Amino acid sequence: MKVKVAIIGSGNIGTDLMIKILRLSDSLEMSVMVGIDPESDGLARAKRMGVQTCHTGIDGLIEMSEWQDIKIVFDATSAKAHLYNWSKVKAFPDKKMIDLTPAAVGPYLVPPVNFLDNMDIPNVNMVTCGGQATIPMVAAVNKIAKVHYGEIVASIASKSAGPGTRANIDEFTETTSLAIEKVGGAEKGKAIIVLNPAEPPLVMRDTVFTLSEQGDREAIRKSIHEMVAEVQKYVPGYQLHQEVQFDDIPENQPVFIEGLGYRHGLKTTILLKVVGAGHYLPEYAGNLDIMTSAARATAERLVS
């Protein structure tokens, strides 16, 4: 029997997630799509696809008869809105919440890295699109050689950054930086996001730099390729754009890292691209696709 779920947020991310669940999931059933704009395309599309809708937010959802049977609530709104939504949902101990905003009320979760550590937590946070794409790579290096510093640069098509993304730029950098440390295992993390205005729009590109202790380069390369394969299980368009690159940072020429001081070791550079599945959003919107795919994968593991 499928587990019933609701999505709060009828924008691009919520709508794409809904379509993924309807088309791809063998264990999740869309119960209600929730928004605050009765004229939104997401709510209109949900109605056309036979999904119940609510345009009065979480308060309206709780009043619906469907609420009783819903076990998982996805939040695809904003960091600020999530605080209110969670204040309502946490009163129902039989519900779990998967947060796709940068609010980070609950622990950060990246499915192939730390799902087992958080499977019993009532509210988990999916970090950010850049975090979902790059933290598995930091963790893959850290598995072989202790990572002192992890820096990621996420470049996304300007067209794929809607009002919610643009309103949460500060939260993106702060949340991703912290998750590089807490989930990826780096002593210090830094995140940068670039909105690329190129036409035609470019697919998501991510660059990951790590400075770690010296380690077996082939073992690090193998760990990275294995992690890419794990992510591809739920994001088929996730791939290495070039082969992994290594550089020595010698002890007599260390680099200065704010908060850590001088460090030397092995620099690893990982270049990624993420092509979206094209379910609702264009293929260039891999940044949104990886978020919705990670959220679906998390929910399916929770109910398996």
Q: What is the pLDDT of residues 173-190, one digit of tens each?
A: 999 999 999 999 999 999
Six-digit token string for 270: 């990982």
Average pLDDT of the chain to the nearest whole number: 96
In angstroms, what CA-CA distances link 203 with 14, 137, 142? 20, 19, 27
- Report the DSSP pairing between strands 204-212 and 261-263: unpaired
What is the per-residue pLDDT across 47-66, written as a single tens digit (0 to 9) for each?
A: 999 999 999 999 999 999 99
Q: Which residues contact 184 (CB under 8 A, 6 or more apart)?
A: 113, 134, 135, 138, 139, 142, 147, 150
- The residues carrying an active-site annotation are 129
In this structure, what are the phi and psi dihedrals at residue 166, rounded to the nearest 5 degrees? -65, -35
Give the pTM.
0.95
What is the per-residue pLDDT across 8-30, written as a single tens digit (0 to 9) for each?
A: 999 989 999 999 999 999 999 99
Six-digit token string for 255: 């680099």
Mean pLDDT along residues 147-168:
90
Mean pLDDT along residues 36-54:
97
C-alpha–C-alpha distance, residues 172 and 177, integer Å: 8
List beta partners, residue 267. Answer: 211, 247
Numbered ranges of CATH 3.30.360.10 in the chain: 129-282
Mean pLDDT along residues 105-122:
96
Numbered ranges of CATH 3.40.50.720 in the chain: 3-101
Q: Which residues contact 138 (CB under 8 A, 6 or more apart)?
A: 147, 150, 152, 180, 184, 185, 186, 189, 208, 210
- The CATH number of 129-282 is 3.30.360.10
Q: Which residues contact 215 (CB under 8 A, 6 or more apart)?
A: 144, 145, 266
C-alpha–C-alpha distance, residues 118 and 127, integer Å: 14
3-101: CATH topology is Rossmann fold (3.40.50)
